[in-house]
A and B are shown apart, each in its own frame.
Chain A
Amino acid sequence: AQSVTQLDSHVSVSEGTPVLLRCNYSSSYSPSLFWYVQHPNKGLQLLLKYTSAATLVKGINGFEAEFKKSETSFHLTKPSAHMSDAAEYFCVVSGKLAYKYIFGTGTRLKVLA
C-alpha cells in the first residue's frame, strides 16, 4: 500500500528566506513522486517530479526536491521565498499503477512581507 504524509499543514516564511515543505512517503514499489502547487481558486500545476532518475529534482520557479530513499522523504525547498509562492502545495505518490495518484493533505504556504 502507498501513502504520503505532509508533515506541516501550514508554513509561514518571510519573503527572501528559504522555504522547506516536508513530505514523507510509504510505498511497496519504486515510487514516482510529485509536487503540485495550487494557487487560490485555481487548478493544480506540476512543480516537479521524481521518476527514479536523478535524486535531486529541479522544478519550476526555483523549487527543487531531493528523493531520500533511506529516509523515505521528498522534501520541497526553495532558497528564497517570493510573495507569489503563497499557495497550497501537495505531495503526491504513485507506484505500480503509475496513473493512480495518492495525495498528501496539503501544506499551505504563507509568505510574509
Chain B
Amino acid sequence: NAGVTQTPKFQVLKTGQSMTLQCAQDMNHEYMSWYRQDPGMGLRLIHYSVGAGITDQGEVPNGYNVSRSTTEDFPLRLLSAAPSQTSVYFCASSYFGDNEQFFGPGTRLTVL
C-alpha cells in the first residue's frame, strides 16, 4: 500500500492564482481530511469528508473548496490564492469510527 499520497510536494503561486492540491489513499478509508500547519499553531482542520459525496467544513475553511467524488481522492482547491494561505498542507485518512488517522507527507505552498 502506498498509504496517503499528496502532490505536489512544493508549490509557489502568485496572489490570485488558483490551484488544486491532490490527495489520494489506497486503504479504502471512509474519512479524509485536510489540515494546514502554521508555526506555533499546530495543525488546523480545513475541510473533511466522511465518504464519497459528503464534505463539511472544519475550523478554517475560508478560501478553500473540496469535493469527494471517489473514496480514494480528496482534492483541495484554492480558488484565488492569498499570501495568508502560505502554509504546509497535510491530508489524512482513517476508517470511519476508528481513532487513528494516517497522514500524507505534506505540500509546502508559498503564495507571493
Contact = CB atoms under 8 A, between A and B. Distances in A.
B69 to A, nearest CB: 20
A9 to B, nearest CB: 7
A43 B101 contact: no
Majority SS of interface residues in chain A? loop
A29 to B, nearest CB: 12
B42 A44 contact: no
B97 A98 contact: yes
A105 B44 CA distance: 10
Nearest to A103: B42
B40 A105 contact: yes
Contacts of A36: 103
A51 interface: yes
B42 A49 contact: no
B66 to A, nearest CB: 15
B53 to A, nearest CB: 17
A49 B103 contact: no
A21 to B, nearest CB: 14
A94 B44 CA distance: 13
Given A42-B105, A44-B90, A90 B99 contact: no
Given A43-B90, A105-B40, A99 B96 contact: yes
B100 A105 contact: no
Contacts of A43: 90, 103-106
Interface string B33-55: 10100001111110010100000
A104 B58 CA distance: 16
A32 B42 contact: no
A32 B100 CA distance: 9
A46 interface: yes
Contacts of A46: 100
